[in-house]
Structure 1
Amino acid sequence: MTESEFLVLADSSLNAIERALEQACDDTDLDVECSRSGNVLEIECIASNSKIIVNSQAPMQELWVAAKSGGYHYKYDGARWVSTRDGSELLSTLSQAVSDQAGVAVTLPQPG
């Protein structure tokens, strides 16, 4: 994948995560605030006064997540973002991190 293809995919993925979290806030008791600055999505969990950061790393063609539970790196396998460490899927890990830090169970849906 070229760098420009990666940047389009990463931007689309960050937008989808933000939309899914906004929908979850509308549908549940979830209270998070999302803000974007370029390739960085900041998810502020209001109840715990904590943040989760998701950002794209173009040189490595990865999405990185920083949460209280740790730091994670994900590569796109042609269908989904997969952890470079343990093979877990980005939205699954992110759902768990948001649930843990926000105190409300959240499941981010797979796009499509």
Structure 2
Amino acid sequence: MPPLSESEFLALAVKELDRIEAAVEAAADAADADIEISRTGNVMELEFENGSKIIINSQAPMQELWVAARSGGFHFRRDGERWVDTRSGNELYDALSSYVSQQAEVALTLG
């Protein structure tokens, strides 16, 4: 799969951040969890009741989405229609479900 142009990647990244935001809102509502979501440009910040945060941002030069969570820093690269962790191979939404559940201290599934 050839690399996308920067503008193509950024459009794809914004679309994915929109999907992540909607998924977090839906999961938080379903679990009655308090997660504050803020976005500035291509950076999304999730803040939890315990004061911890998860930061998700796009890295156009690398064509990756980066996630910083309590459990570490993770890089996700597009593989067909999915975003996968460049080290573990975990799918983005499976991984985010784990990170968000850990920090919200309640089981959440992002889909």
Bucket of the pairwise TM-score, normalised by the shorter protein = over 0.9
Q: Which amino acid in 1 is paired with 2:89? A: G
Provide the secondary structure at the position in 1 that maps to 2:110: coil
Q: What residue is the counterpart of 2:70 in the other structure? A: 68
Check conservation: 1:55, 1:64, Cα contact below 8 A: yes
Q: Distance in 1 between matches of 2:31 and 2:86?
A: 31
Shift of 1:71: 0.3
The 3-state SS of whatever aligns with 1:55 is strand
For residues 101 and 35 of structure 1, the distance between their equivalents in structure 2, rounded to whole angstroms, comes to: 16
Match of 1:33 in 2: 36
1:85 aligns with 2:91: no
Aligned partners of 1:64 and 1:72 also within 8 Å: yes
Q: In the alignment, which residue of structure 1 is the partner of 2:16? A: 13
Kept in 2: contact 1:35–1:41 (CA 8 A): yes
- SS at 2:47 equivalent: strand
Which runs of 5 or more structure 2 residues have no equivalent in the other structure?
Answer: none
Please state whether the residue corresponding to 2:22 is helix, strand or coil. helix
Q: How far did 1:41 drift?
A: 0.4
Q: CA–CA distance in 2 between the matches of 1:101 and 1:20?
A: 16
CA distance in 2, matches of 1:27, 1:87: 28
Structure 1 residue runs of 4+, over 4 Å off? none
Gaps of 5+ in 1: none
What is the deviation of 1:25?
Answer: 2.3
Measure the CA separation in 1 of the matches of 2:10 and 2:31: 31
Cα distance in 2 for partners of 1:31, 1:43 equals 10
How far apart are residue 49 of structure 1 and its match?
1.0
Instruction: Give, in whole Å, the separation in 1 of the partners of 2:88 and 2:18.
Output: 25
Q: Which residue of 1 aligns with 2:59?
A: 57
Q: Which amino acid in structure 2 is aligned with residue 31 of structure 1?
A: D
SS at match of 2:96: helix
Q: Matches of 1:84 and 1:21 in 2, distance apart?
A: 22
Q: Is the 8 A contact 1:64 1:74 kept in 2?
A: yes
